[in-house]
Amino acid sequence: MIHPTIIKVNADAFAERGCSWMADIIKKSIADHGRAAVGLSGGSTPGQIYDLLGKEKGIDWSKVSIFLVDDRYIREDDPKSNQFLLRSTLLKHAPVPESQIIFPDTTLPYEKFIDRYEKHLRDLLKKNPADLVTLGLGPDGHIASLFPPVPEKAFGNHLVIGTTTDRFDVRERISVTLPVLTAAREAIFFLKGKEKEQVWNEMMESSEDKHRWPAKALSKATVLILD
């Protein structure tokens, strides 16, 4: 069961607080073990946070690797793509070496798209887990692209799986699995608005398990709520 640290802030502080948390974790990871591996979510909520983070002083971006916790199976230049979001915010400012930007290749056939991303993440995380992952929470309780009821393969040995959904306009997705998320040293949820807070509270009050509420698989997380 997840044991979250909940912090509520107003609109003026939301992006700034999210940026400072992420920056502190990244700097500490570099100081502690010489690198930082950061898994980022997409969606409408974290864009301003990522933009500020890219401008943050004092981060040695040459020691940072970035990967996506999920994405849609669409062109990388599609505005709905999480790759597009990151390249137009964080990576517009932060000089992360291209070899350390680990994104799925959406030009490949779907199965190869999944297999290739699995290989790249295994190479990245073979010695150490992710230092930080960021997540949102969907109105149905999904995190990354792990939609309830979460399939058993999301709890298995793979780092990456393909998923599908009928709840959004892009059906085919790719997502890291729960073991990748639960192994991360730090996890931050970014929630914007009363509706997302209500979904979080519903999850915390529910007796249903991580198949219904995949966020329950994490043992701890910081939750930043725009109040």
Each domain of the chain, given as residue ranges in start order, spans 3-226
- pLDDT grade, residue 167 (50/70/90)? confident
Q: Collapsing DSSP states into helix, strand and coil, what is residue 19?
A: helix
What amino acid is encoded at 39 in this protein?
G
CATH 2.70.98.20 is right for the domain spanning 3-226: no
Q: What is the pLDDT of residues 61-101, one digit of tens each?
A: 999 999 999 999 999 999 999 999 999 999 999 999 999 99
Q: What is the pLDDT of residues 190-201, one digit of tens each?
A: 999 899 999 999
E strand or H helix at 5, and its extent? Answer: strand 3-9
* Residues forming a β-bridge with 213: none
> Residue 66 is encoded by which pair of tokens?
């970035």
